[in-house]
Amino acid sequence: MAEQRTYEVRTYGCQMNVHDSERLTGLLETAGYTAAPAGAEPADVVVLNTCAVRENADNKLYGNLGHLASVKKKRPGMQIAVGGCLAQKDRATITDKAPWVDVVFGTHNIGSLPVLLERARVAEEAQVEILESLDVFPSTLPTKRESAYAAWVSVSVGCNNTCTFCIVPALRGKEKDRRPGDVLAEVEALVAEGVSEVTLLGQNVNAYGVEFGDRQAFSRLLRACGEVEGLERVRFTSPHPAEFTDDVIEAMAQTPNVMPSLHMPLQSGSDRVLRAMRRSYRQSRYLGIIERVRAAMPDAAITTDIIVGFPGETEEDFQDTLEVVRRARFSSAFTFQYSKRPGTPAAVLEEQVPKAVVQDRYERLVALVDEVAWAENRALEGRVVELMVAEGEGRKDAATRRLTGRARDNRLVHFTPLAVDGTPLEVRPGDVVEVVVSYAAPHHLVADGPVRSVRRTRAGDAWEARTAAPATATPGVSLGLPTIGVPAPLPPLVDGCR
């Protein structure tokens, strides 16, 4: 490029979109773009990585595009690109409704973005490229992550399920699995850079292996991750109850670096609603999984997704959901009010539940979820927990400064970095501390006493090195590109589609 242009990537939706955005930023930096400084002028290139699952996704997209149109008029040469699930779904409709958009690309060809941007500049017309199947597995693309110590690692893309409320399989395609050796090669490369925590990612992560015919591939992969020296924490998201098998529970319990945390989407506690949702499990199977997980890992924290107000849901159905919440004792739950998603079978079902009824049930569900989560958190008061320190500061008050970390069970803990004698401790993101829980809230824990121990880690060293020099993009494992960056830990983003 004759000039160095700036970029901004805006991400909407689930973990897979977040992971894709890491690839998009890596691609742009490898092509010579630089991240636009926060608070500076609008970027030369703005990329919207969209979601088709969230409510009013279309309205939000075109609202954002309308705002960008006025910005673009004042900035000659500015480019706007739209990618992700909504781009895959709407295709050329985007440029019809927003002709100022320069590039539209789908979920299967994120690697084409730099070429499409350059082609649009030269041709001075919009470029639309939507592939029907994956051309390059995302993890082979350059990456820019924001963290030195935690990373997403994609084991599969796509989904073979046909849930009636979900459009993702139509947009992401059928499940496509990476070979175990490729996944482990990426994990080992990340650990060599200082990463100490990885989250294995897939639309239906525990179905991993279906493409190459190994029903125990995922449990084998968890155990193999346990053999990677220097890898301290392994997580995964999101599994499907219908395919969650005992070999995975055994692998979790027997592999020390696989964390005792599990996100197990429920969606509904009613067998009748689960059948209408086309979820291939029932309440008894779901609760059986929870019981076996707790038997193998008594301290496991289990989270979930729940949809309220699915078409035809009765008060009796809703009470079944509340009963599962009481029995499962979730540490937290992502709760959603059902809304029509164009293109899904559920959108045309009769017996849509009135909005006022949905709102009432939603409020009762949230109240129960918070009650249960708070009780589960209070049971940890006085307990010693091990935290991996997160990036950024935690809550502040007039008296002291709190930092934030994640416990092994993924609970969020705010702690005060003070020694027993009251002197401040040097604690870096990625380091590991032990603290005593002094107070529990519904959504987090607090440890206001002194830190019992601090372990400086390679991950903390990597964070320190990274903050001393500008971060750039890390290549995908299979590409011979120069190493220019590190991975980022991101909070779970749940879209109700698991």
Residue-by-residue DSSP string for 425-490:
----TT-EEEEE--EE-SS-EEE-S--SEEE--HHHHHHHHHHTS---PBPPTTS-PPP--B----
What number does CATH give the domain 6-135? 3.40.50.12160
Q: Would you mind telling me the total number of residues written for the chain in this entry? A: 498
Q: What is the bridge-based pairing of β-strands 412-415 and 432-436? A: unpaired
pLDDT of residue 84: 85
Q: Where are the domains positioned within the chain?
A: 6-135, 143-378, 384-456
Of 270, 356, 278, 342, whose CA–CA distance to 313 is shortest? 270
Angstrom distance (rounded) from CA 384 to CA 59 = 47
Tokens 């009748």 sit on residue: 272
Other CB atoms within 10 Å distance of the CB of residue 230: 15
Radius of gyration of the chain (CA): 23
Using alpha carbons, select from 101, 154, 157, 155 the residue that is nearest to residue 129. Answer: 101
Give phi and psi for 446, each to the nearest 5.
-130, 135
What CATH code would you report for 384-456?
2.40.50
Strand ordering across the sheet containing 412-415:
439-440, 445-447, 412-415, 401-407, 384-396, 432-436, 453-455
Q: Write the Ramachandran bin of 350: left for phi over 0, alpha for psi from -120 to 50, otherwise beta.
A: beta
Does the bond joining 238 to the residue before it have cis omega, within 30 degrees of 0? yes
Question: What are the backbone angles phi and psi of residue 404, rounded to the nearest 5°?
Answer: -125, 145
Q: Could you give the CA distance from residue 284 to residue 75 in angstroms, rounded to a whole number?
A: 59
**Which pLDDT score is estimated for 489?**
35
For residues 11 and 17, the answer to whether their CB atoms sit within 8 Å is yes
pLDDT at 110: 87
- Which ranges in 165-216 belong to alpha helices (H)? 168-172, 180-192
**Separation CA 225–CA 190 (nearest Å):** 12
Examine domains 6-135 and 384-456 and report if their fold is the same. Answer: no
- State the Cα–Cα distance between residues 476 and 421, nearest whole angstrom: 46
Can you give the pLDDT at residue 472?
Answer: 62
Digits of tens for pLDDT over the chain (498 positions)? 456 899 999 888 777 777 788 889 889 999 999 999 877 778 999 999 988 766 566 778 888 899 899 999 999 899 999 998 888 888 878 999 999 999 999 888 888 899 999 999 999 999 998 887 776 676 667 777 777 899 889 899 888 888 999 877 777 778 889 999 999 999 999 999 899 999 998 888 999 998 889 999 999 999 999 999 999 999 999 899 999 999 999 999 999 999 999 999 999 999 999 999 999 999 999 999 999 999 999 999 999 999 999 999 999 999 999 999 999 999 999 999 998 887 789 989 989 999 999 999 999 999 999 999 999 999 999 999 999 999 865 554 445 588 999 999 999 999 999 999 999 999 999 999 999 999 999 999 999 999 999 999 999 998 998 887 665 666 654 322 222 232 333 333 334 444
Q: Which top CATH class is 143-378?
A: alpha beta
